[in-house]
Homo-oligomer: A and B are copies of this chain.
Amino acid sequence: MGCRQSFRQCCDRPKNTNVRISLPAVCFVWQIVMIILFGIFIRYDQESDAHWAEYRTFQNISSDIENDFYFRYPSFQDVHVMIFVGFGFLMTFLKRYSFSAVGFNFLIAAFGLQWALLMQGWFQSLDPMDGKIKISMESLINADFCVASCLIAYGAVLGKLSPVQLMVMTLFGITLYAVDEFIILNLIHARDAGGSMVIHTFGAYYGLSISWMLYRPNLDQSKRLNGSVYHSDVFAMIGTLFLWMFWPSFNSAITDHGDGQHRAAINTYLALASTVLTTVAISSLSQKTGKLDMVHIQNSTLAGGVAVGTAAEFMLMPYGSLIIGFCCGIISTLGYIYITPFMEKYLKIQDTCGIHNLHAMPGVIGGIVGAVTAAAASEGVYGKAGLINTFDFTGKWKDMVPSRQGGHQAAGLCVALCFGVGGGIIVGCILRMPIWGDAPDDNCFDDELYWELPEDEESIPPILEDNNHMRNRDVTESHFSMEQSQN
């Protein structure tokens, strides 16, 4: 702790937010590296290669509709919307940080998905015959999933990091995710369709640990900007709703064809519906006159989707999904009311979007629910073939039984936690170096640092026509004088 403290002091030099060299350099170099690595490693798989026609005849596949594209594409597009519009707009709630919220989200997602295709490919789908990674629609979905974990982490540090730091955070985040995922899904053989553990738990603790390492004791100097305005809250609702609506696609995107996707979508739909009601209830209870708080509605209503992630494809039963959503709505909203202020005050963790309440706690709950429901699975409920399909008791895992599977699920959750916290601390150290161009404490949450902003809204000429010309002159003048004082 003392060591951390002194390391901190050594890094606390005056801030320079000019990223004119570092940001273009990072973007160019990394993109060129991507091109080279893609050139060496990445090829189309059987179903996206022009040899598909021959492969189809050879495999005796009756129709093009059996191409995995048609099983996955609608879900893929929904997930894609969640990543770019969902996460991007959810974070636009700050009054003067909407450009960065949606713009940096865009940047790091676009970089992250390329790196994820490589990392996940190396770990999971390297073809031993030719040493190439074969990509298909499912790889793209997995890359989007991987990116999601880094965008969750972005939520914790929103407003406090420079775009260069975000790129670094994403680079390491994706790397850690790929290792983490390989251990949990392949080595431990845990099931995690919707990623409660690998995406949400890992991503949230990764972000929270970074935020802890980058604790800013004087952040309240920026508190004038750490809040919303009316329209920015409405923008954020766009993000919330697209996340909420498409979450069934998120949790079902890579589950088994047929009943697996079908059931995962139904379970998620129900869990989310239930969460909305308990979120509203707790939010209303928490205020003197029963008024609702937009922060809760924007975030906690999504907790049920997180918590049902791991178990979405299991036979949770519809009422089981409702119960999970019920609990998570309560816990997540209470988290916003009590835990976030507590963490900021006593644990030195500043969590801008409250990802601890939206992703960390529900993610852990999701992992536990997954472990319990896996352990309780029986042939009576699933059927013999259903049990094998759902838990993938094939190959070297053919002798697995549900009770042991439950243990493996629990182990997976622990791995996700360790990777999140450990990785976050290491990456946080790296990000403390005073070379990244992050904002000074009194200027966080401000687009002004990294964006050319348009002139102020108030200077729009009013619509009255009679004195239009006179006004225009005034406006132009004041606009010029503004520019002068700025430069």
Contacts and interface: CB of A to CB of B under 8 A. Distances in A.
Contacts of A20: 284-285, 287-290
27 contacts: A19-B290, A20-B285, A20-B289, A35-B274, A35-B319, A39-B317, A44-B263, A48-B266, A49-B259, A53-B258, A54-B383, A73-B265, A77-B78, A88-B237, A102-B234, A110-B275, A110-B301, A135-B266, A224-B472, A225-B461, A227-B454, A229-B454, A230-B454, A231-B235, A238-B238, A291-B450, A442-B469
Given A322-B38, A322-B114, A463-B448, A69 B224 contact: no
A280 B107 contact: yes
Nearest to A235: B234
Contacts of A382: 50-51
A258 B69 contact: yes
Nearest to A82: B245
Contacts of A464: 482, 485-486
Contacts of A486: 463-465
Interface string A447-483: 0111111111110111111101100100110010010
B35 A322 contact: yes
A85 interface: yes
A65 interface: yes
A157 interface: no
Given A49-B263, A107-B277, A70 B77 contact: no
Interface stretch (A178-186, A200-208, A385-393): A385-393
A8 interface: no
Interface residues of A, number: 168
Given A23-B281, A48-B263, A281-B27, A56 B258 contact: yes
B65 A66 contact: yes
Contact of A48 (B77, B80, B98, B259): B259
A65 B54 contact: no
A154 interface: no
Contacts of A301: 106, 110
A261 B453 CA distance: 40
A52 interface: yes
Contacts of A419: none
A6 interface: no
A125 to B, nearest CB: 13
Given A230-B454, A292-B450, A453-B463, A51 B383 contact: yes
Most buried by B among A50, A73, A270: A50
A74 to B, nearest CB: 4
Given A110-B276, A231-B457, A466-B485, A52 B452 contact: no
A212 interface: no
Given A77-B249, A245-B81, A19 B99 contact: no
